[in-house]
Amino acid sequence: MPHSLATYIALPGTTGEAMEHWHEVFGGELEILRYGDMPPMEGMPFTPDPRAVAHSTLVLPRGAGVIAGGDSMDDGTDYPVRGTAYSLLYTTDTPDEAQGLIQKLIDGGGATGMPFEQAPWGDWYGQVFDRFGVMWAFSCERA
């Protein structure tokens, strides 16, 4: 198996909803495995909600990448989702394609973080926070 890198996101009980939303926005192949779909696991240190997402993957079209994730288990640790220390960078072929994806995220309850426009370095760049608090950065080489 060749090496690969996928983004993995653990959301607080909203991973299934987020993955379905991203599937609507970007397309691709979506698989969601919930704890209730799995056989009982002896020695599990917690009893998960059977509706919670154990693991999910969204393979984006045209080999654009993979987003994987699962529901975080509430262990009292506070890891904020919305922030600017990270983002998912999605590069498109044209500015119009990026604008369309950004609009779908906004229409789905997101908000603009930085307008998508031509940047000082000549390429196109912008940011949007989706309704789950995940920051999506969009980039496109100058047309």
Whole-number average pLDDT of the chain: 89
pLDDT tens, residue by residue, 59-69: 999 989 999 99
* Length, in residues, of the chain: 143
- Give the pLDDT score at 77: 57
Distance, in Å, from the CA atom of 98 to the CA atom of 70, rounded to the nearest integer, reads 27
**Overall CATH class of domain 88-140:** alpha beta
Q: Give the architecture-level CATH label for domain 7-71.
A: 2-Layer Sandwich (3.30)
Average pLDDT over residues 37-57: 86
Distance, in Å, from the CA atom of 116 to the CA atom of 5, rounded to the nearest integer, reads 26
Give start-end residues of each CATH 3.30.720 domain in the chain. 7-71
Q: Which helix (H) or strand (E) holds 105?
A: helix 95-107
pLDDT tens, residue by residue, 12-46: 899 999 999 999 999 999 999 999 998 887 877 77
Lowest model confidence (mean pLDDT) among 24-28, 78-82, 125-129, 137-141: 78-82
- Give the pLDDT score at 110: 97
> Pick from 128, 138, 135, 100: which is nearest to 9 by CA?
135
pLDDT over 70 percentage in the chain: 89
Tell me the whole-structure pTM to 2 decimals.
0.84
Quick one: how far is CA 30 from the chain centroid? 12
Give start-end residues of each CATH 3.10.180.10 domain in the chain. 88-140
Using 50, 70 and 90 to split pLDDT, how confident is the model at 79? low
pLDDT tens, residue by residue, 96-110: 999 999 999 999 999
Residue 106 β-bridge partners: none
